Protein backbone atom coordinates (compact mmCIF):
# COMPACT_ATOMS: atom_id res chain seq x y z
CA UNK A 1 0.00 0.00 0.00
CA UNK A 2 1.26 3.44 -0.92
CA UNK A 3 0.92 6.38 1.43
CA UNK A 4 -1.81 8.88 0.58
CA UNK A 5 -0.48 12.07 -1.01
CA UNK A 6 -2.58 15.11 -0.09
CA UNK A 7 -2.60 18.32 -2.12
CA UNK A 8 -4.90 21.22 -2.96
CA UNK A 9 -7.36 20.71 -5.80
CA UNK A 10 -6.04 21.58 -9.24
CA UNK A 11 -7.77 22.49 -12.49
CA UNK A 12 -8.84 19.27 -14.17
CA UNK A 13 -9.61 17.43 -10.89
CA UNK A 14 -13.29 18.33 -10.85
CA UNK A 15 -14.81 15.34 -12.70
CA UNK A 16 -12.75 12.79 -10.75
CA UNK A 17 -13.60 14.48 -7.47
CA UNK A 18 -17.32 14.54 -8.20
CA UNK A 19 -17.13 10.85 -9.23
CA UNK A 20 -15.50 10.12 -5.84
CA UNK A 21 -18.27 11.96 -3.99
CA UNK A 22 -20.89 10.03 -5.94
CA UNK A 23 -19.14 6.71 -5.20
CA UNK A 24 -19.22 7.65 -1.50
CA UNK A 25 -22.92 8.67 -1.64
CA UNK A 26 -22.13 12.25 -0.59
CA UNK A 27 -24.04 14.07 -3.31
CA UNK A 28 -27.66 15.08 -2.94
CA UNK A 29 -30.14 16.24 -5.61
CA UNK A 30 -30.50 19.65 -3.97
CA UNK A 31 -26.72 20.34 -3.90
CA UNK A 32 -24.92 20.64 -7.22
CA UNK A 33 -21.41 19.29 -6.49
CA UNK A 34 -19.88 21.29 -9.35
CA UNK A 35 -21.37 24.48 -7.91
CA UNK A 36 -20.11 23.51 -4.44
CA UNK A 37 -16.60 23.05 -5.89
CA UNK A 38 -16.70 26.38 -7.68
CA UNK A 39 -17.98 28.17 -4.58
CA UNK A 40 -15.21 26.81 -2.33
CA UNK A 41 -12.31 27.44 -4.73
CA UNK A 42 -10.22 30.56 -4.83
CA UNK A 43 -11.17 31.95 -1.45
CA UNK A 44 -8.83 32.53 1.49
CA UNK A 45 -11.27 30.91 3.92
CA UNK A 46 -11.78 27.61 2.10
CA UNK A 47 -9.91 24.90 0.24
CA UNK A 48 -10.55 21.50 -1.27
CA UNK A 49 -7.96 18.89 -0.42
CA UNK A 50 -7.57 15.76 -2.51
CA UNK A 51 -5.83 12.52 -1.57
CA UNK A 52 -3.97 10.65 -4.28
CA UNK A 53 -2.93 7.00 -4.38
CA UNK A 54 -2.62 4.28 -7.02
CA UNK A 55 -6.12 3.21 -8.01
CA UNK A 56 -4.91 -0.39 -8.06
CA UNK A 57 -3.94 -0.81 -4.41
CA UNK A 58 -1.63 -3.75 -5.17
CA UNK A 59 0.52 -1.89 -7.70
CA UNK A 60 2.54 1.00 -6.23
CA UNK A 61 3.81 1.95 -9.68
CA UNK A 62 0.28 2.56 -11.02
CA UNK A 63 -0.72 6.15 -11.86
CA UNK A 64 -2.18 8.17 -8.99
CA UNK A 65 -5.92 8.75 -8.75
CA UNK A 66 -8.07 10.88 -6.47
CA UNK A 67 -9.32 8.47 -3.82
CA UNK A 68 -9.94 10.86 -0.91
CA UNK A 69 -11.11 14.41 -0.28
CA UNK A 70 -12.01 17.04 2.29
CA UNK A 71 -13.53 20.46 1.66
CA UNK A 72 -12.35 22.71 4.50
CA UNK A 73 -13.43 26.19 5.42
CA UNK A 74 -13.88 28.58 8.28
CA UNK A 75 -15.83 31.64 9.33
CA UNK A 76 -12.86 33.20 11.13
CA UNK A 77 -13.78 31.43 14.35
CA UNK A 78 -14.81 27.83 13.69
CA UNK A 79 -13.78 25.44 10.98
CA UNK A 80 -15.93 23.03 9.03
CA UNK A 81 -15.19 20.03 6.86
CA UNK A 82 -17.48 18.80 4.14
CA UNK A 83 -17.25 16.17 1.43
CA UNK A 84 -14.85 14.12 3.54
CA UNK A 85 -14.50 10.96 1.50
CA UNK A 86 -12.39 7.89 0.94
CA UNK A 87 -13.29 5.70 -2.02
CA UNK A 88 -14.97 2.50 -0.78
CA UNK A 89 -12.25 0.36 -2.44
CA UNK A 90 -9.56 2.14 -0.37
CA UNK A 91 -11.09 2.21 3.10
CA UNK A 92 -9.33 0.60 6.03
CA UNK A 93 -5.89 1.92 4.99
CA UNK A 94 -5.77 5.01 7.28
CA UNK A 95 -6.56 7.30 4.34
CA UNK A 96 -9.53 8.76 6.22
CA UNK A 97 -7.30 9.69 9.13
CA UNK A 98 -4.72 11.14 6.72
CA UNK A 99 -7.21 13.40 4.90
CA UNK A 100 -8.73 14.52 8.22
CA UNK A 101 -5.26 15.32 9.61
CA UNK A 102 -4.55 17.39 6.49
CA UNK A 103 -7.82 19.30 6.94
CA UNK A 104 -7.10 19.92 10.62
CA UNK A 105 -3.61 21.21 9.77
CA UNK A 106 -5.01 23.52 7.09
CA UNK A 107 -7.46 25.00 9.60
CA UNK A 108 -4.80 25.29 12.32
CA UNK A 109 -2.57 27.26 9.93
CA UNK A 110 -5.48 29.68 9.48
CA UNK A 111 -5.71 30.15 13.27
CA UNK A 112 -8.94 28.20 13.65
CA UNK A 113 -9.29 26.57 17.05
CA UNK A 114 -12.50 24.53 16.75
CA UNK A 115 -13.87 22.21 14.06
CA UNK A 116 -17.49 21.33 13.44
CA UNK A 117 -18.71 18.37 11.42
CA UNK A 118 -22.24 17.74 10.20
CA UNK A 119 -22.98 14.03 9.99
CA UNK A 120 -26.28 12.40 9.17
CA UNK A 121 -27.47 10.66 12.35
CA UNK A 122 -28.18 7.42 10.48
CA UNK A 123 -24.55 7.16 9.34
CA UNK A 124 -23.30 5.06 12.27
CA UNK A 125 -19.98 3.92 10.71
CA UNK A 126 -18.98 7.54 10.09
CA UNK A 127 -19.98 8.57 13.62
CA UNK A 128 -17.76 5.77 14.96
CA UNK A 129 -14.87 6.84 12.69
CA UNK A 130 -14.94 10.42 13.98
CA UNK A 131 -15.27 9.22 17.55
CA UNK A 132 -12.01 7.27 17.11
CA UNK A 133 -10.36 10.50 15.87
CA UNK A 134 -11.34 12.30 19.08
CA UNK A 135 -14.44 14.14 17.84
CA UNK A 136 -17.28 14.38 20.35
CA UNK A 137 -20.99 14.99 20.10
CA UNK A 138 -21.76 18.63 20.84
CA UNK A 139 -24.85 19.81 22.65
CA UNK A 140 -26.03 22.04 19.82
CA UNK A 141 -28.90 22.12 17.38
CA UNK A 142 -28.23 22.94 13.75
CA UNK A 143 -31.06 24.72 12.05
CA UNK A 144 -31.15 25.50 8.37
CA UNK A 145 -33.09 27.33 5.75
CA UNK A 146 -32.66 27.02 2.02
CA UNK A 147 -32.47 30.30 0.14
CA UNK A 148 -33.83 29.68 -3.31
CA UNK A 149 -31.91 31.21 -6.23
CA UNK A 150 -34.60 33.79 -6.96
CA UNK A 151 -34.47 34.93 -3.30
CA UNK A 152 -30.72 35.49 -3.15
CA UNK A 153 -29.41 39.04 -2.91
What domains lie within the chain, and their CATH numbers? Answer: 5-151 (3.40.630.30)
Nearest to 49 by CA among 88, 90, 95: 95
pTM: 0.88
Q: Please say whether the beta carbons of 99 and 133 come within 8 A.
A: no
83, 36 contact by CB (below 8 A): yes
How many helices (H) and strands (E) the chain has is answered by: 4, 5
- Residue 117: count other Cβ atoms within 10 Å of its Cβ: 16
pLDDT of residue 147: 81
Crossing angle between the packed helical segments 33-40 and 14-23, to the nearest 10 degrees: 130
First and final CA of the chain: distance in angstroms?
Answer: 49
CA distance linking residue 136 with residue 63, whole number of Å: 37
Q: What is the chain's Cα-based Rg?
A: 16
Please answer whether residues 150 and 139 qualify as being in contact, where contact means their C-beta atoms are separated by less than 8 angstroms: no
Residue-wise pLDDT tens digits, 39-87:
999 899 999 999 999 876 566 677 899 999 999 999 988 999 999 999 9
Q: 8 vs 150, which has greater pLDDT?
A: 8
How large is the average pLDDT for residues 103-112?
95
Collapsing DSSP states into helix, strand and coil, what is residue 73? Answer: strand
| pLDDT score for 56 | 64
> DSSP characters for 6-53?
EEE--TT-HHHHHHHHHHTT--BTTB-HHHHHHHHTT-TTEEEEEEEE
Q: What is the pLDDT of residue 59?
A: 65
Amino acid sequence: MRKLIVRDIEDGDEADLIALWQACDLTRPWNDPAADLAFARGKPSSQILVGLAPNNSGDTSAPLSIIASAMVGHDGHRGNMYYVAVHPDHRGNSHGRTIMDAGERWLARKGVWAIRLMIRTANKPVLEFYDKLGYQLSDVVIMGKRIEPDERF
